[in-house]
Structure 1
Amino acid sequence: MAYENEKLPEEKVFKDPVHRYIHVRDRVIWDVINTREFQRLRRIRQLGTTYLVFHGAEHSRFQHSLGVYEIVRRIIDDGFSGRAEWNEEQRLVTLCAALLHDLGHGPFSHAFEKVFNLDHEHFTQEILLGQTEVHEVLSRVSPDFPQKVADVINKTYPDKLVVSLISSQIDADRMDYLQRDAYYTGVSYGHFDMERILRVMRPTEEQVVIKESGMHAVEDYIMSRYQMYWQVYFHPVSRSAEVILMKILHRARYLHETGYAFTQEPTHFISFFEKEFKLKQYIALDESVLLTYFQLWMEEEDPILSDLCDRFVNRRLFQYAEFDPASQYMKIGELMKLFQQAGLDPEYYLVTDSSSDLPYDFYRPGEENERVPIYLQMKNGDLRELSRMSDVVDAISGKRRTDHKIYYPEDILMDGSNLLHEEILEVLRG
């Protein structure tokens, strides 16, 4: 039997709190799961620093990746199989892309990427196509199979229906992380009727569409996403922790570049500081490595690195205030001078941060990162764009919401009766 069609002697199942069970019968899927690169995702949290706000948010990208795979498996095997619009030959590449779509995420994901100007999607491609165990397993299907999987994740695969299952405004990725993140954070916002959505999904040549009768379930899904972003993903306290994490890495890089003698050398980071790292070094990093360094750097002689690491490890986070860069940009210069007078380096202790989200967008042809909208399939077979039919979705469609905050160590400013501290706090709160 060809490897791509080989089944396990007995179905393997993962017990899952969101989907109850995740079913694996394909030999390829099972072998990919057991590679070192995929197992590494157990050591990368799905929500980065959010566990410092919602203490249950300790779940990993390993769990999420299995969840996305399971949703796609159900869509294909239970919903699309046998339909003329679905090409059964695309099944395995779609399942592998679903399973591996987050393979390139680094420790604390987006914060780590910002510091070193990296792109996790680039590293997903590198792992799929490089000298890795994942590449070796996928190559057993055919020499060009790893490239096919990479193309699906990169949104360049010729079958747009396959791509839409993994990456669109109503894809398996979003359907899993909304429910999974809601479950582990303990909030109610991310719950929606996924079972209903799966029942009304229909394949077309270009993308997945939704039967007209499923519109209200999709409305609920869109609003769930909207609420999760502002109540969980952009939570200001989580962003405070992320700011400190980034400043730790900025400080460590600065100290390395200026010849500081570390008590604990940043061995795992040097190649990143010098922009000479290889894929093997990237894969070797996970969150346990970073946290170990942070623990050790709490004892460094450099007071800024030591303080920032202590803040992150022991959750002594920065306070925040609302900040409007359009009308308050003059405030930054004034604050920087006051912070310097107070003996605080504003480079590390006065930080502005912005978060932005577009919950749903209609088709804007030619625009950068244009989004393919969600279409409803009417009873006569016609397709209608969702916001044209739904007043709820229309109300938020195309509307980008942005939130700006300024972060600072209130505990230091409040320590003592220095009038300068009071002046700083007055400016921040003003």
Structure 2
Amino acid sequence: MAYKDEKLHEEKVFKDPVHRYVHVRDRVIWDLVGTPEFQRLRRVRQLGTSYLTFHGAEHSRFNHSLGVYEIVRRIIENFENRPYWNHEERLLCLTAALLHDLGHGPFSHSFEKVFKLDHEDYTRAIILGDTKVNAILRKVEESFPQKVADVINKTYENKLVVSLISSQIDADRMDYLQRDAYFTGVSYGHFDMERILRVMRPMEDQVVVKESGMHAVEDYIMSRYQMYWQVYFHPVTRSAEVILTKILHRAKELYENDYTFFLEPYHFTSFFKGEADLEAYLKLDEAVTLYYFQIWREEEDPILSDLCDRFVNRHLFKYVEFNPNLHMSEWMELHQLFQKAGIDPEYYLVVDSSSDLPYDFYRPGEDGERLPIHLLQPNNELKELSRKSEIVEAISGKKRTDHKLYFPKDLIEGLSNRSKTKKRIMEILYG
């Protein structure tokens, strides 16, 4: 029997708090789960610094990746023997679903921002490079790693396959909304996934939803909207991200200025130099990163030491609302006042912005690829979701943006009560 068709002697199951069970019968999938590259995802949290806001948010990219795989497995099960579905692409879909987040680094997006990296580039590098994952994929067929990479990169020729893990209603979003809601303890991310899976249908270029399932899709869209603003963009989580980002910036600056660290940060050296290869990337996870933060608490540099202590012991920055269009003169004055008070504004005065577009449809001539959600009518015609749903129409194309100003309130309060600088800083921040 060919490797791609090989089944396990007995089905393997992972107990899962969201889907109850994750089922594995394919030898290829089981072998991929056992690779060092995939096991590394156990050491990368799904929600980055959110565990400092929601104490239950300790789940990993490993959990999520298995969940996305399971949802795609169930979708495909429903698609068998339907028009437009090619059974030969079943294993490709399952593999891409399992591996779609393989390249995430420690604390994901914050880490990427500092070192100007893209986890999708590393996902492709792991799939196509000299790795255990690549060796398994090549056993399926020599071109299989490239096909998997193309699906994840959204360049695969069959857009139906791509839409299963990357669209406005895909397995990726359906898993992380429910999983993140479960582990953060909030109720916003829940929606009727069972209903959505039952009414999903394959079409030539994408997955569509029967019109009878429109209300379940509305609920899904609104769940996503609420999760972004109540969980993903929570201001306390963003405070932790600000400090995390500043720690990495400070360590990089010190390294570039030949500072002598108490412990040489050799896991970060190639990143500081902008020369990180795949081997260095795979060695770095959140356990290693937090180890350095613990060590750096004892560094002689007061800024690095203080920032690391804040992150490790959750002594975070406070925040106020900030309108960059109205407050730039106050921002400049604050910057000067912080310098006067001996508080480095480069590390202790930070504007952070978050924005989200909950749903949109394709607008010719505008940037960004937006594959809309289509409803399948009883006469087999397709209608874009916002044309049938007043709820979705109300939020379509509307980007919401939020700005916060972060600062160490304790350092400001520690200034002398007679200080005019302290008084003016408090006036600007709190009115």
When normalised by structure 1's length, the TM-score is: 0.99
Whether the 8 Å CA contact 1:182–1:191 is kept in 2: the answer is yes
Aligned to 2:184: 185
Whether the 8 Å CA contact 2:318–2:408 is kept in 1: the answer is yes
Matches within 5 A, 1:76-155: 76-77=76-77, 79-155=78-154
What is the Cα deviation at residue 366 of structure 1?
3.8
Take 2:159 and 2:302, find their aligned partners in 1: how far apart are those partners? 53
Instruction: Give 3-state SS (helix, strand or coil) of 1:268's partner.
Output: helix
What is the Cα deviation at residue 367 of structure 1?
2.5
The one-letter amino acid of 2:62's match is: F
The one-letter amino acid of 1:275's match is: G
Extract unaligned runs of 5+ from structure 1.
Answer: none
Aligned to 1:270: 269
What is the Cα deviation at residue 84 of structure 1?
2.1
Extract unaligned runs of 5+ from structure 2.
Answer: none
Aligned to 1:34: 34
Whether the 8 Å CA contact 1:299–1:306 is kept in 2: the answer is yes
Instruction: Give 3-state SS (helix, strand or coil) of 1:177's partner.
Output: helix
What is the Cα deviation at residue 257 of structure 1?
0.6
Aligned to 2:360: 361
What is the Cα deviation at residue 108 of structure 1?
0.1
The one-letter amino acid of 2:65's match is: S
Take 2:114 and 2:333, find their aligned partners in 1: how far apart are those partners? 26
Whether the 8 Å CA contact 1:413–1:422 is kept in 2: the answer is no
Matches within 5 A, 1:41-80: 41-77=41-77, 79-80=78-79
Aligned to 2:169: 170
Aligned to 2:428: 427
Q: Paired residues, what number?
A: 429
Matches within 5 A, 1:9-408: 9-77=9-77, 79-408=78-407
Take 1:148 and 1:179, find their aligned partners in 2: how far apart are those partners? 29
Take 2:164 and 2:349, find their aligned partners in 1: how far apart are those partners? 42
Take 2:425 and 2:260, find their aligned partners in 1: how far apart are those partners? 33
What is the Cα deviation at residue 363 of structure 1?
1.3
1:257-287 alpha-carbon deviations (Å, 9 max, x no partner):
1111111111111110001121000010000
Whether the 8 Å CA contact 2:321–2:404 is kept in 1: the answer is yes
Take 1:27 and 1:425, find their aligned partners in 2: how far apart are those partners? 62
What is the Cα deviation at residue 429 of structure 1?
2.3
Take 2:422 and 2:262, find their aligned partners in 1: how far apart are those partners? 33
What is the Cα deviation at residue 423 of structure 1?
1.2
Instruction: Give 3-state SS (helix, strand or coil) of 1:197's partner.
Output: helix
Take 2:235 and 2:186, find their aligned partners in 1: how far apart are those partners? 16
Take 1:154 and 1:105, find their aligned partners in 2: how far apart are those partners? 14
What is the Cα deviation at residue 327 of structure 1?
1.3
Q: 1:225 to 1:64 in 2, by over 3 A?
A: same
Take 1:136 and 1:367, find their aligned partners in 2: how far apart are those partners? 40
Q: Post-superposition, which runs of at least 4 consecutive aligned residues in structure 1 deviate over 6 A? A: none
Instruction: Give 3-state SS (helix, strand or coil) of 1:406's partner.
Output: strand
The one-letter amino acid of 1:44's match is: V
The one-letter amino acid of 2:3's match is: Y
When normalised by structure 2's length, the TM-score is: 0.99
Take 2:399 and 2:274, find their aligned partners in 1: how far apart are those partners? 34
The one-letter amino acid of 2:313's match is: N
1:56-76 alpha-carbon deviations (Å, 9 max, x no partner):
000000000000000000000
Take 1:421 and 1:93, find their aligned partners in 2: how far apart are those partners? 61
CA RMSD of aligned residues (A): 0.7
1:268-318 alpha-carbon deviations (Å, 9 max, x no partner):
111100011210000100000110000000000000000000000000000
Whether the 8 Å CA contact 1:361–1:398 is kept in 2: the answer is yes
Aligned-residue identity in percent: 72
Take 2:263 and 2:428, find their aligned partners in 1: how far apart are those partners? 38
Whether the 8 Å CA contact 2:83–2:203 is kept in 1: the answer is no
Take 2:36 and 2:381, find their aligned partners in 1: how far apart are those partners? 47
Take 2:92 and 2:365, find their aligned partners in 1: how far apart are those partners? 29
Take 1:21 and 1:266, find their aligned partners in 2: how far apart are those partners? 41
The one-letter amino acid of 2:170's match is: D
Take 2:59 and 2:46, find their aligned partners in 1: how far apart are those partners? 6
What is the Cα deviation at residue 368 of structure 1?
2.2
Whether the 8 Å CA contact 2:214–2:375 is kept in 1: the answer is yes
